[in-house]
Amino acid sequence: MIITSLNLFGRFDNWSRRRTNILSYINDTEPDLMFFQEVVYLPEASPLTQVTDLNKRLEYPYYEHIAVTRLQTSDTYSEYREGLGILSKFPVLKSETLVLRQDPRDHLQRIVQLFDIDYHGYTVKFVNVHFSEHQELAALHLVELFDILASRHERRIIVGDFNIPDLEKYAELWQHDYSASSGEPYVSYPSLKSRIDYILMPKSDAFIDITVSDDGLSDHRALTADIRLRVTASTKPLVEASYAH
């Protein structure tokens, strides 16, 4: 399976040009599942979120899983809504959006988007994340997410904008049960020559390849991984399988 994560840079700045670049990248890499952050509903600019706008051209069959729940202020427009979204070539069995705790030092509220897909008859669980822009608070969000998953006795593939330049600094949170895309060198936030976008996968799964896009899609680069899944379903035994995208 090929998965891609991209922070869309929220605003519709240069959207026509960036949309062309994003579409070109997606058509070249052909991800099965796309995770988007800073998905905006801004009716003064467009009646569509960027994800819906992209999918008018991409035509992913299972795309209506967008959680635009945060209110933001704008220098140009009135308040607008922002959140997370996914595009999937596989059926989305269910999705759920959870609000994370808001620290008094953070002027924005953060959410996570949990969803399950039907992957050739197997249920595979994911989380789309966009943590606080303050690294210390982002680390608290990561702790909170793992607490949520532990309370549910779940391990999910965690994808998105972690806003943590050095994920290895917090390896004690995940290294026992998860592998991280940070094991490979890449830059996903070029203005700071840093990476803040990651994929964390249960160790039963494996990375085959990890790449990032060129610039011009957003202020971030898209992060793409080819992954091999060890998948389970309630009606099937645990098997190891790799499927062509």
Question: Is residue 180 predicted with pLDDT exceeding 80?
Answer: yes
- For the chain, strand residue ranges (E) read 2-7, 33-41, 62-72, 80-88, 92-99, 111-119, 122-130, 157-161, 178-180, 197-202, 206-212, 223-233, 236-241
- What's the pLDDT at 237? 38
Tell me the mean pLDDT in the region 139-161.
Answer: 97
Per-residue pLDDT for 124 more than 70? yes
125 CB burial (10 A radius; 0-12, 13-18, 19+): buried
The alpha carbon torsion through 204, 150, 38, 217 (nearest 10 deg) reads: -10
- What is the arithmetic mean of pLDDT over 171-189? 95
The residues spanned by each domain of the chain are 2-241
Q: Dump pLDDT digits (tens) for 32-83.
A: 999 999 999 888 888 899 999 999 999 898 766 888 777 777 777 777 788 9
Q: How far apart are the first and last CA of the chain?
A: 5
Q: How confident is the model over 76-114, as pLDDT tens digits?
A: 777 778 899 999 999 999 999 999 999 999 888 899 999
Q: What is the per-residue pLDDT for 10?
A: 82
Structure tokens at 218: 């957003």
CATH 1.20.210.10 fits 2-241, yes or no: no
